[in-house]
Amino acid sequence: MKTARVDWRYRLTILSRTLAAALGGYALTAAFAGALSLALAQAMPRVDAVLTATMLAWLVYAAAVAWVFYARTSWGAWLGLLAPAAVMGAMAMAPRWLGAAA
């Protein structure tokens, strides 16, 4: 029986996707929780908004990890996490940048 040999590029791809899942998923989840908590704070008490956003962020993190290993390429996985994270991070920071009261 012939043994399969794993190429170093394949190992590097798996390492990149694992780092994307851990680091990019964290960035996306943190940005999501921040943006959603600010949006929900308009309709409910602040503590409830933060708790709701944090609980929903766990679902986003699970979806981000699944997305990383579902994406066609490693670059696509990174871009698929960091682009929405940047947008949501900007949405979360917009009130501070615009000088609104927190």
According to the model, what pLDDT value does residue 8 have? 87
Dihedral angle over CA of 19, 22, 25, 27, nearest 10:
-90
* Sole residue written with tokens 């309709």: 43
Residue 1 is predicted with a pLDDT of: 67
pLDDT of residue 94: 87
- Tokens at residue 40, please? 């929900």
What is the predicted pLDDT for the residue at 101? 57
Tokens at 8, concatenated: 């170093």
Residue ranges of the chain whose pLDDT lies below 70: 1-2, 100-102
Q: Kindly write down the DSSP assignment for every residue of 31-81, as one continuous string.
A: HHHHHHHHHHTTTS-HHHHHHHHHHHHHHHHHHHHHHHHHSSSHHHHHHHH
